[in-house]
Structure 1
């Protein structure tokens, strides 16, 4: 069955009906024009896909083709057919203008916030549709953890960490919270972790002794923090084995990585979601401890005893008995 059938052409009013905010200028204007010109010859499925990409440009830029198709309610192959119907060589060449748009112009966060506000107006004051969309996106990305490919990636990352003399953890800006969590929870069990940050301009000081016996967990998502990319490249050049927790196999963190763990960060919000990445961090920590045997249990026991000695955690005070 062909995706091209005889239908009347779609003019500007048709595009406005599909998405009143479809851009007439900027990096996405050409795609809008191509959809307008081809709309009359698109099948219902391709029209549905076109309608979604017009309304959700940030999803095209950030989300995998499979996830984008799921959000649009079509098959992944439909996205490939749409790209070709619009005279692109393939899906990646169709996607590139969206990435360019997200990297430039008024700024990625402003563009997302503008889309977020438009959705808020469409919801007519109710927050339920937005919250549902956010939960759905995060839930779908979290389910990717249990896929065979992701499980294998986590297992390989675990082996690299367990076999390392020192484990360096790098994450800047919003990803610092993920890096700090991994470093903190890992350090409850093992004493060979170094949290790499730029405090007091000591970013590269912390990497001074890194070598081929070490592993690096580098965490970063688009837009990639320059210090994270440069520190990861520095570590790889020293021979360290890099584990990249990032959003794409073509991420700059993945370029020299021994193992890549990809995570979908797309969200209806103005800021990318860190929830799926947090789930990956927790899964990796669990695998490391599960493989630690009695040594891991002994280390956790000692840590808990030390915390108890220092009174690290609040306890319910004992109530005094009233005098008779």
Structure 2
């Protein structure tokens, strides 16, 4: 069923207006159309450059869903909806600039709704993962791979570094075989030295995919390591040779895609690994806590002197 009767010509629409239209009609869309819409909102450059079939594959929907989304928004078809995105790219404006321009167009009055939309998008993504039995099973399979690994290499570059760093830090409280591949001074591949069939690499990458992360995942896969890919699509470049793929929704009304759902997934994965660690993990955590206490790592309120 189509939601919009008037069908604007492509030359009368720009990306900002198309994105605004999606946001206005979002709650009226079916679950499949919402999934497609979130992907279009998060990846405008892909709409311009990718075939409809490939775009649908990345979004996890059927190609016909993209056609229905275009018609629901008032266009004659997907190609008509795509045209504003092509014009936008030909104009030379980057994806982040276009999204930031969208935010500014809301004005001060739109700030409250923007904050709410961002929180609602994150809550919906996390809630969707919690209710997905297949995703929970996949997470537990990742846990076994990590627990059985000789070494666990952890890689996330650029905006994904925060996810990699958190996993490495929290995992390291209970296990001493983690290695953060940080890439400082161009040393990404140095950090993978010694990787082999008994090891695991957990890597994080979302569009636009960091080139070195993709190459590093290939290096580890060539060495026989088990790849755990946490990404925005089951067909992302780091997922193609992965043993496990945890696809995470990251669409956001902001100019930058959200890492909140991925962080929720990482925290759940760390907790699952610790829960399976037995006495050895408990001993390592205890040692870590004793060391932190010894060095006064955490601030404590000074004791007040009693008045005499």
TM-score by length of 1: 0.74
1:124-273 equivalences in 2 (<5 Å): 125-146=109-130, 147-273=132-258
Q: What secondary structure does 2:109 align onto?
A: coil
| Mean Cα deviation higher: 294-303 or 265-274 | 294-303
Residue 289 of structure 1 and its aligned partner are, at CA, apart by 0.5
Residue 187 of structure 1 and its aligned partner are, at CA, apart by 0.5
Distance change in 2, residues 1:99/1:59 (3 Å): farther
**Which residue pairs with 1:34 in the alignment?**
none
Residue 201 of structure 1 and its aligned partner are, at CA, apart by 2.5
1:42-53 equivalences in 2 (<5 Å): none
> Number of residue pairs matched?
280
Picking from 16, 24, 41, the partner of 1:58 is: 41
| Mean Cα deviation higher: 314-323 or 260-269 | 314-323
Aligned partners of 1:60 and 1:95 also within 8 Å: no
Bigger relative contact order, structure 1 or 2 (CA pairs below 8 A, ≥6 apart): 2
Picking from 294, 297, 305, the partner of 1:312 is: 297
1:265-284 equivalences in 2 (<5 Å): 265-284=250-269
TM-align CA RMSD: 4.0
**Which residue pairs with 1:116 in the alignment?**
103
Distance change in 2, residues 1:229/1:148 (3 Å): same
Aligned partners of 1:169 and 1:183 also within 8 Å: yes
Distance change in 2, residues 1:184/1:116 (3 Å): same
**Which residue pairs with 1:32 in the alignment?**
none
For residues 99 and 188 of structure 1, the distance between their equivalents in structure 2, rounded to whole angstroms, comes to 48
Residue 214 of structure 1 and its aligned partner are, at CA, apart by 0.2
Deviations 1:99-128 (A, max 9, x none): 99789941111111122222x23xx52521
Aligned partners of 2:15 and 2:85 also within 8 Å: no
Aligned partners of 1:58 and 1:98 also within 8 Å: no
Deviations 1:251-270 (A, max 9, x none): 10101100000111110000
**Which residue pairs with 2:52 in the alignment?**
none
Find the structure with the greater CA-based Rg. 1
Residue 287 of structure 1 and its aligned partner are, at CA, apart by 0.4
For structure 1, the 5+ residue unaligned runs are: 29-43, 69-75
Q: What secondary structure does 1:261 align onto?
A: strand
**Which residue pairs with 1:71 in the alignment?**
none
For residues 259 and 268 of structure 1, the distance between their equivalents in structure 2, rounded to whole angstroms, comes to 29
Residue 14 of structure 1 and its aligned partner are, at CA, apart by 12
For residues 211 and 12 of structure 1, the distance between their equivalents in structure 2, rounded to whole angstroms, comes to 56
Distance change in 2, residues 1:96/1:252 (3 Å): farther
Residue 132 of structure 1 and its aligned partner are, at CA, apart by 0.8
For residues 224 and 103 of structure 1, the distance between their equivalents in structure 2, rounded to whole angstroms, comes to 22
TM-score by length of 2: 0.77
Distance change in 2, residues 1:105/1:253 (3 Å): farther
